[in-house]
Structure 1
Amino acid sequence: MSEIKDSARSVPARVSAPVRAALPAARSRAARTAVRGVFFANGAAFASWAARVPDVRDGLGLSAGGLAVALAGLAAGALAGLPLAGVVVARWGSRRTLIGGAVLFFGTLPLIPSAPGLVPLTVAAAMFAVGNSAVDVAMNTQGVLVERACSRPVMGGFHAMFSLGGISGAAVGGLAAAGDVGAGTHFLLTAVVLFSVCCAATIFLLPDAPDTGVAGPAFAFPPRGLWAPALIALSALMGEGLMNDWGAVYLRDVAGSSAGAAATGFAVFSAGMVAGRLAADRMRSRAATDRFVQCCSLLAGAGAVLALVAPSPGTGLVAYALIGLGLAPVVPVAFSHAASHTPRGPGPSIAAVSTVGYVGFLAGPPIVGGVAEAAGLRVTMVVLLILTCALSVLAPRLGRA
């Protein structure tokens, strides 16, 4: 076995996990910090867009229907970009994919508020989402490579940085809106700063050589071994989507909370997500993957039951903290498990699981909203409870896979 040097260029491109584990500690720490920076930048950029959606809408004078069309373009770009990104990562490596995706992601962000009409806005939103998908798959692939190099779980910490980036991006977006800073100026400054972070990070990422043997269509259903983590990701991300879109509404209309308390409930859920992901890596190293996911599902399920049977402002906050803590570690675990099925090239596996998962994230809230229109908002927590039960049932499949 040849000696592995500190320089990023001297690290073998496509090597086994035991060799990666032999990386010098300083090199592993540098790669880990770099991936953290990319996750943070990705979360901050997307949250910046989300925080200024009303300003983008008002700038073009869009109706609710017009905004829905633009958001549909965003969703379509995200879903189309994920499997495509998996193919690109396999053929050209995650570092190159990250750079190309970042150019599209951050380059499109300032164009969104300057779109002259609905059609250009929809196209810009779709391209923004495609770039986000490319960055998403590439950074998670890098996360897997660093996890192998560190020989211990670290994916939860990376996803915690994404959550912290989202909180930071939303906070800055709120301050910019309150200070009458135009969305165009805000997005341009955000793109420049965060793109610089990603460019600096690529210097320290672990290289993974293209797999010239990869061939096939840009989209394919997950193979048999990936359906368990894919369905687990779908259940967890659908639960996150429900909490994002309906959590505050549930507290307001069902639990009888004030507007401020309802907003606090979402903040508590978000804080629980960050705390759960920060603690997940240490807990994962002490428990089998299937048992760990089952424990997470029980914690989130307990929160759903509490919110369902005892809806009140106080119990709602406790319930939302439990739900956030329980759901937070599941998706990082699903990605890590999926990557283990293709150790030489984890990108396509992560893309396949991400695609199925984000279908739940995007489609779940509007479906539940339609059901709630007829059955009442309590159905939100009923669906969430069903999703946590599905996680518990699917978790043993991870142990047998």
Structure 2
Amino acid sequence: MLLTIETKRTYRIAAGIYFFIAGLTYSSWACRIHDLKAFFGLNNASLGSVLFALPVGLLLSLPVSGWLVTRAGSRKVLIAAGLLFPFFLCMIGLATQLWQLVGILFCFGFLNNVLEIAMNTQAVGIETLYQRSVMASFHGLWSLAGFAGVAAGTLAIGLKWPIWQHFGLIALLCWLLVFSSWKYLLPADEVQESPPLFAKPDGYLLRLGLIAFASLVTEGTMFDWSGVYFQKVVAVPEIFTTVGYIAFMATMAGGRFTADKLVTRLGTRRVLQYSGMTSTTGLLLAVCFPGMYTATLGFLLVGIGVSAVVPLVLALAGKSATLPPGVAIAAVSTVGFLGFLIGPPLIGFIAETTNLRWSFALIALLSFGTTLLAGGVDKATKRH
């Protein structure tokens, strides 16, 4: 059955709302970490141990997420996760004991990934309807929601709202968005009665996972170390320590809204190759010329370079001929997410033995892996 343009657009808007929910919820939590640290009286080491519960939950959910989406369908899982993910944000604000916070953060990380896999599976289905690249624009909404979450968090902190009140209002907004959009989600995707819980990726999916790994190593570095780099290496006044991070986030968001048009014109392989070269150039610029303006320009380039990689890789994974979309996306995400986990500690280890500039230089080399690995994407896609 042929669908009208209006129907396709309705599906696209509904799925995009869940990307916005994911970005808004996660960024709202992230901007109050410092307040939680003060509330529980944690030092840096203790805070790191507590925060580790979130990526553990996320990592353990990766195979389960793909299984759930394939078994029940992305629509049902997306609605449930869209309600539960903000619910656990509320629970973070209500935690009074450290053990409660650790358990809630585990569940928060778990639900975050369930939501991510389900909404990306929906996005792959919608991209199939459009017969052109639209995945990057969905991830652009996630980034846009991240800015909205930080802005709302800054306002809440300025008004001295307690954490539970701030998180409760964000959750209420997210629930309203779910109730207004769930009827318009894409109703059908591939469902299996007995999908595999653990699926070994084939060579094609492994290549995609490694491309995501190379990009997410860079993203993780930017998220966790950009401020430190500007403070320690660029040596800017304290008020400017976030300039690099803001530059990176701005171009990453903007790049995601323009990437789909570039894919239509240039093809996925070229966009991925140019992305790797751009992020590598940006990192090397910041390493070789660590001044205020050159480092900011470098971080702007890094944001452009990483913006499209993960969305395009997940879109390709969802079209795998060997695994259902949810399982394939989860398999690629598993490999890629390891880069997000490994990158920040790797930076710290190398910085401790040498210096921070050498750490960023190594990440630049790893980032170039996106360009090298993308060379075989077209050939692999033709076989699939």
TM-score of the two chains, using structure 2 as the length reference: 0.95
Which residue matches 1:363?
A: 342
Equivalent position SS for 1:191: helix
User: Once the 2 structures are TM-superposed, how far is the Cα of residue 63 of structure 1 from its aligned partner?
Assistant: 2.9
Answer yes or no: is 1:68 the counterpart of 2:20: no
Does 372-381 or 41-50 show the bigger shift?
372-381
Aligned mates of 1:239, 1:305 — CA distance in 2: 12
The residue type equivalent to 1:159 in the other structure is: H
Which of 34, 37, 53 aligns to 2:14? It is 34
Which residue matches 2:172?
A: 192
Q: Residues 211 and 398 of structure 1: is their aligned pair in 2 closer, same or farther, counting only changes over 3 Å? A: same
Aligned mates of 2:308, 2:190 — CA distance in 1: 30
User: Once the 2 structures are TM-superposed, how far is the Cα of residue 91 of structure 1 from its aligned partner?
Assistant: 0.3
Which residue matches 2:265?
A: 286
Query: Is the contact between residue 237 and residue 357 of structure 1 (CA under 8 Å) also seen in structure 2?
Result: yes
Which of 68, 76, 87 aligns to 1:96? It is 76
Q: Residues 344 and 84 of structure 1: is their aligned pair in 2 closer, same or farther, counting only changes over 3 Å? A: closer
Aligned mates of 1:143, 1:231 — CA distance in 2: 21
Answer yes or no: is 1:332 the counterpart of 2:328: no
Query: Is the contact between residue 83 and residue 178 of structure 2 (CA under 8 Å) also seen in structure 1?
Result: no
The residue type equivalent to 2:351 in the other structure is: A
Equivalent position SS for 1:286: helix
Query: Is the contact between residue 101 and residue 134 of structure 1 (CA under 8 Å) also seen in structure 2?
Result: yes
User: Percent identity among equivalent residues?
Assistant: 34
Listed one character per residue, the Cα deviations across residues 2-56 of structure 1 (whole Å, up to 9, x for unaligned) are xx3xxxxxxxxxxxxxxxxx32111100111112211111101000000011112
- Return 5+ residue gaps in structure 2 as ranges: none
Which of 213, 217, 221 aligns to 1:242? It is 221
- Return 5+ residue gaps in structure 1 as ranges: 5-21
Answer yes or no: is 1:261 the counterpart of 2:240: yes
Listed one character per residue, the Cα deviations across residues 101-135 of structure 1 (whole Å, up to 9, x for unaligned) are 22321111111122232211111001111111111
Which of 153, 170, 177 aligns to 2:133? It is 153
The residue type equivalent to 1:262 in the other structure is: T
Which residue matches 1:17?
A: none
Does 193-202 or 343-352 show the bigger shift?
343-352
Which residue matches 1:45?
A: 25
Answer yes or no: is 1:165 the counterpart of 2:165: no
The residue type equivalent to 1:281 in the other structure is: D
Query: Is the contact between residue 59 and residue 113 of structure 1 (CA under 8 Å) also seen in structure 2?
Result: no
Which residue matches 1:315?
A: 294
Answer yes or no: is 1:109 the counterpart of 2:109: no
Aligned mates of 1:101, 1:48 — CA distance in 2: 17
Which residue matches 1:122?
A: 102
Which of 226, 239, 263 aligns to 2:205? It is 226
Query: Is the contact between residue 92 and residue 210 of structure 1 (CA under 8 Å) also seen in structure 2?
Result: no
Query: Is the contact between residue 89 and residue 210 of structure 1 (CA under 8 Å) also seen in structure 2?
Result: no
TM-score of the two chains, using structure 1 as the length reference: 0.91
Answer yes or no: is 1:139 the counterpart of 2:119: yes
The residue type equivalent to 2:174 in the other structure is: L
User: Once the 2 structures are TM-superposed, how far is the Cα of residue 355 of structure 1 from its aligned partner?
Assistant: 1.6
Does 336-345 or 354-363 show the bigger shift?
336-345
Answer yes or no: is 1:175 the counterpart of 2:155: yes
Does 81-90 or 112-121 show the bigger shift?
112-121
Listed one character per residue, the Cα deviations across residues 218-268 of structure 1 (whole Å, up to 9, x for unaligned) are 334423220011011111111001011111211221122222322122111
Aligned mates of 1:326, 1:285 — CA distance in 2: 17
Does 66-75 or 231-240 show the bigger shift?
66-75
Aligned mates of 1:201, 1:355 — CA distance in 2: 29
Equivalent position SS for 1:181: coil
Query: Is the contact between residue 78 and residue 119 of structure 2 (CA under 8 Å) also seen in structure 1?
Result: yes
Does 380-389 or 121-130 show the bigger shift?
380-389
Which of 245, 251, 258 aligns to 1:272? It is 251
User: Once the 2 structures are TM-superposed, how far is the Cα of residue 164 of structure 1 from its aligned partner?
Assistant: 0.6
User: Once the 2 structures are TM-superposed, how far is the Cα of residue 165 of structure 1 from its aligned partner?
Assistant: 0.4
Which residue matches 2:188?
A: 208
Number of aligned residues: 380
The residue type equivalent to 1:241 in the other structure is: G
User: Once the 2 structures are TM-superposed, how far is the Cα of residue 198 of structure 1 from its aligned partner?
Assistant: 2.4
Which of 379, 385, 390 aligns to 2:364? It is 385
Aligned mates of 2:299, 2:72 — CA distance in 1: 41
Aligned mates of 1:219, 1:125 — CA distance in 2: 24
Aligned mates of 1:272, 1:353 — CA distance in 2: 25
Which residue matches 2:230?
A: 251
Equivalent position SS for 2:132: coil
Q: Residues 398 and 248 of structure 1: is their aligned pair in 2 closer, same or farther, counting only changes over 3 Å? A: same
User: Once the 2 structures are TM-superposed, how far is the Cα of residue 288 of structure 1 from its aligned partner?
Assistant: 2.5
User: Once the 2 structures are TM-superposed, how far is the Cα of residue 367 of structure 1 from its aligned partner?
Assistant: 2.0
Query: Is the contact between residue 85 and residue 134 of structure 1 (CA under 8 Å) also seen in structure 2?
Result: yes
Equivalent position SS for 1:212: coil
Query: Is the contact between residue 199 and residue 327 of structure 2 (CA under 8 Å) also seen in structure 1?
Result: no
Q: RMSD across aligned C-alpha pairs, in angstroms? A: 1.5
Equivalent position SS for 2:375: helix
